[in-house]
């Protein structure tokens, strides 16, 4: 009986049946999967922060409205209308934009098609986050802070970091995909 | 692997290795019996519960996931279905000691334990040979999964693609999983049933290939996926090629167990014996079907010219129940139980001696 230590010849036979395939584990492919994974993860993070932001903002508005109602400062109807309006406003700002970012990022990570809309939204959030952090520093220096401000800063800073990571991974993913496409087509970068 | 390979293909391998029809029947019965010998079955025949080689779904639902419960699960699944490839390997990725030990339980073929499993079965009868064939075959099918609950090792995410070759072209399709156990796996729609996602590292839902359902057990399956432990590297599994290697390694191992070969070494495949049947075997392996019993049965019956009865779990039950206490170990199930305890003890102690407490400690049955 003849036994083969190496089975490369056999692999060739298997190849003729079209069954053998290689794992794509070169650096470019691994990086592409890594950045796509990070992009989706940060997109999830953005959406979660949006939901938290909505709950937080709405609770703050409700508590202010409640105080005004108890004090008799505003009529009940206006309070109800105001809270619905505030909810809608927070929903649009907190969720809709973030949902667009989440959807665009997930689609780009999955399909490989470049999308710019969500990047534009993410940059708006980035600017807003920078403004929030800067305003906290301004307040802290000139007016002093309380525990609520510090908690808000933690929330805003976390949100800012997530948006930064999302934008960075989106651009890194595009770069890797361009390189892969160039390598596969033999074209220039 | 399923009954098609563990029963009918094992029969064919035994027959090709030189065993008679009757001997091959005992070997293939024992190989399939590994998937049936649960504590529930052993209770029904008043057998030793420590010889259990599998756990039923009902037993899994009751299984504890504390230290002792996890050790019990690992002892069974790592010893018989997910034999670790290398108990001393150091993973490339940086990880804690606890995870390094878990990674060492990842199943794979041609490991030192696989060789020891075959050597241990030598001279212990046909039942031990059948049991060893089950373990060897599963090292190929269950490659990259581990016989201990672990989300990091066993979980699969949405990056799970089946590779299909049509007209010389490779096509990739995303596999869709559902959690309805009443739904049959559908290779045409690429829909398979798997266990529910549980974020707990030690949930029994994360045992073995449960998160990928039965898909890794199908001989036609070629797929790529991205396990968490691989750090964004993908794993490609080519079951037709692997199953052919499993089949030829089984023939080689069975020849060793028969005494035709003096030494058993890993990474050796008896390709010459199957040369006249290679196309036929590859045809069965590549056919997209969830149950290849009929094809393997027809092939095996053509080989031996004898009728192969369907697997009946109770075939040797009465013989075991009727035997008195002293002669029970001479029955088919009695010898299977001895082989199972011996295998479990060997694997448990090897894992323990490697500094890993995942399977606990066992008395050395081999020395007794």
ipTM (interface predicted TM): 0.74
Task: Please state the rounded mean pLDDT for residues B33-62.
Answer: 93
Nearest residue, CB atoms, A25 vs list B234, B269, B278: B234
Query: Looking at chain B, which residue has its C-alpha nearest residue A15?
Result: B241
Under-70 pLDDT residues of chain A:
1-21, 73, 186-189
User: Please, where are the H alpha helices in chain B?
Assistant: 3, 10-17, 21-33, 39-44, 57-62, 67-80, 97-103, 112-121, 126-141, 151-154, 239-258, 271-274, 278-286, 293-304, 317-322, 332-353
CA distance B179 to B181: 6
The alpha carbon of residue A144 is apart from the nearest alpha carbon of chain B, in Å, by: 42
B273: which chain A residues are within 8 Å (Cβ-Cβ)?
Answer: 1
Q: Is the pLDDT of residue B309 over 90?
A: yes
List residues of chain B with CB under 8 Å from any CB of chain A: 159, 163, 165, 168, 170, 222, 224, 226, 231-236, 238, 240-241, 244-245, 252, 255, 261, 267-273, 278, 282, 286
Task: Please state the rounded mean pLDDT for residues B235-244.
Answer: 89
A26: which chain B residues are within 8 Å (Cβ-Cβ)?
Answer: none
> Taking a C-beta distance cutoff of 8 angstroms, is the pair A165, A105 a contact?
no
List residues of chain A with CB under 8 Å from any CB of chain B: 1-5, 7, 10-11, 13-14, 17-25, 29-31, 33-34, 37
Give residue B62's pLDDT band: very low, low, confident or very high (50, 70, 90): confident
Task: Please state the rounded mean pLDDT for residues B291-296.
Answer: 94
Phi, psi (rounded to 5 degrees) for B304 = -95, -20
3-state secondary structure (DSSP) of residue A96: helix
Task: Please state the rounded mean pLDDT for residues B51-56.
Answer: 94
CA distance B215 to B207: 15
User: What are A79-84's contacts with CB under 8 Å, separation 24+?
Assistant: A83/A58
Nearest residue, CB atoms, A23 vs list B159, B168, B235: B235
B219: which chain A residues are within 8 Å (Cβ-Cβ)?
Answer: none
- Polymer length in residues for chain B: 368
Task: Please state the rounded mean pLDDT for residues B61-84.
Answer: 92
Q: What is the pLDDT at residue A18? A: 45
The alpha carbon of residue A43 is apart from the nearest alpha carbon of chain B, in Å, by: 16
| CA–CA distances in Å: residue B47 to residues A86, B129, B333 | 70, 20, 9
Residues A13, A17, A18, A24, Cα dihedral to 10°: -40
Half-sphere exposure of A105 (CA within 13 A, CB side): 33
Q: What is the pLDDT at residue B92? A: 72
Q: Which two tokens stand for residue A133?
A: 């952090």
A23: which chain B residues are within 8 Å (Cβ-Cβ)?
Answer: 224, 233-236
The alpha carbon of residue B222 is apart from the nearest alpha carbon of chain A, in Å, by: 8
Query: Looking at chain B, which residue has its C-alpha nearest residue A37?
Result: B232
Side by side, which strands form the sheet with B169-174? B169-174, B160-166, B222-225, B235-238
A2: which chain B residues are within 8 Å (Cβ-Cβ)?
Answer: 272
B167-193 confidence digits (pLDDT tens): 666 778 899 999 988 888 998 888 999
CA distance B276 to B291: 24
Query: Looking at chain A, which residue has its C-alpha nearest residue B166?
Result: A18
| CA–CA distances in Å: residue B367 to residues B53, B80, B360, B362 | 21, 20, 18, 12
B344-354 confidence digits (pLDDT tens): 999 999 999 99
B91 burial level (CB within 10 Å; 0-12, 13-18, 19+): middle
- Cβ neighbours, 10 Å, residue A58: 17
B181-236 confidence digits (pLDDT tens): 888 899 888 899 999 998 898 899 999 999 999 999 999 998 999 988 888 888 88
The pTM assigned to this predicted structure is 0.86
């Amino acid at each position: 009986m003849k036994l083969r230590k190496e089975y490369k010849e056999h692999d060739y036979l298997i190849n003729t049946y079209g069954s053998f395939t290689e794992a794509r584990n070169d650096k470019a492919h691994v990086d592409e999967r890594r950045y796509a994974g990070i992009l989706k993860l940060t997109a999830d993070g953005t959406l979660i922060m949006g939901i938290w932001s909505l709950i937080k903002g709405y609770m703050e508005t409700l508590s202010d409205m409640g105080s005004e109602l108890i004090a008799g400062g505003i009529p009940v109807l206006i309070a109800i209308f105001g809270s619905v309006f505030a909810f809608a406003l927070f929903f649009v700002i907190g969720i809709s934009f973030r949902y667009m970012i989440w959807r665009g990022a997930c689609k780009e990570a999955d399909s490989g098609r470049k999308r710019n809309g969500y990047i534009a939204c993410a940059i708006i959030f980035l600017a807003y986050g920078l403004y929030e952090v800067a305003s906290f520093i301004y307040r802290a220096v000139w007016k002093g802070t309380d525990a609520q401000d510090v908690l808000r800063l933690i929330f805003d800073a976390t949100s800012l970091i997530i948006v930064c990571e999302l934008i960075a991974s989106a651009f890194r993913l595009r770069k890797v995909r361009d390189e892969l496409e160039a390598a596969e087509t033999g074209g220039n970068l | 692997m399923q009954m098609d390979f563990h029963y009918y293909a094992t029969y064919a391998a035994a027959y090709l290795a030189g065993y008679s029809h009757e001997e091959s029947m005992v070997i293939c019965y024992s190989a399939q019996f590994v998937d049936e010998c649960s504590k529930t079955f052993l209770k029904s025949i008043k057998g030793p519960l420590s010889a259990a080689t599998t756990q039923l779904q009902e037993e899994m639902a009751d299984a504890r996931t504390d230290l002792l419960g996890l050790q019990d699960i690992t002892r069974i699944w790592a010893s018989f279905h997910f034999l670790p490839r290398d108990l001393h390997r150091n993973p490339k990725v940086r990880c804690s000691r606890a995870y390094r030990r878990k990674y060492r339980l990842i199943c794979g073929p041609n490991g030192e334990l696989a060789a020891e499993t075959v050597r241990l079965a030598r001279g212990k009868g046909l039942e031990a040979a059948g049991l060893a064939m089950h373990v060897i075959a599963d090292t190929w099918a269950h490659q990259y999964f581990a016989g201990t609950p672990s989300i990091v090792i066993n979980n699969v995410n949405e990056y799970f693609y089946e590779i299909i070759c049509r007209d010389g072209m490779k096509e990739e399709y995303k596999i869709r999983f559902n959690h309805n156990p009443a739904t049959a796996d559908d290779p045409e729609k690429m829909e398979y049933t798997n266990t529910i996602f549980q974020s707990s590292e030690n949930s029994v839902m994360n045992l073995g290939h449960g998160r990928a359902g039965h898909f890794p057990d199908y001989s036609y399956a070629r797929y790529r996926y991205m396990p968490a432990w691989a750090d964004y590297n993908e794993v490609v599994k080519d079951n037709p090629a692997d199953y052919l290697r499993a089949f030829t390694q089984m023939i080689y191992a069975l020849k060793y167990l028969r005494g035709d070969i003096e030494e058993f070494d890993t990474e050796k495949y008896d390709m010459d014996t199957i040369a006249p049947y290679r196309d036929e075997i590859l045809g069965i392996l590549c056919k997209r079907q969830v149950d290849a019993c009929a094809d393997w049965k027809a092939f095996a019956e053509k080989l031996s010219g004898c009728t192969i009865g369907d697997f009946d779990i109770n075939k040797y039950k009465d013989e075991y129940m009727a035997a008195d206490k002293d002669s029970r170990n001479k029955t088919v199930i009695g010898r299977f139980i001895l082989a199972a305890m011996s295998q479990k003890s060997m694997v448990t102690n090897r894992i323990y001696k490697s500094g890993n407490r995942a399977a606990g400690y066992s008395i050395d049955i081999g020395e007794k």
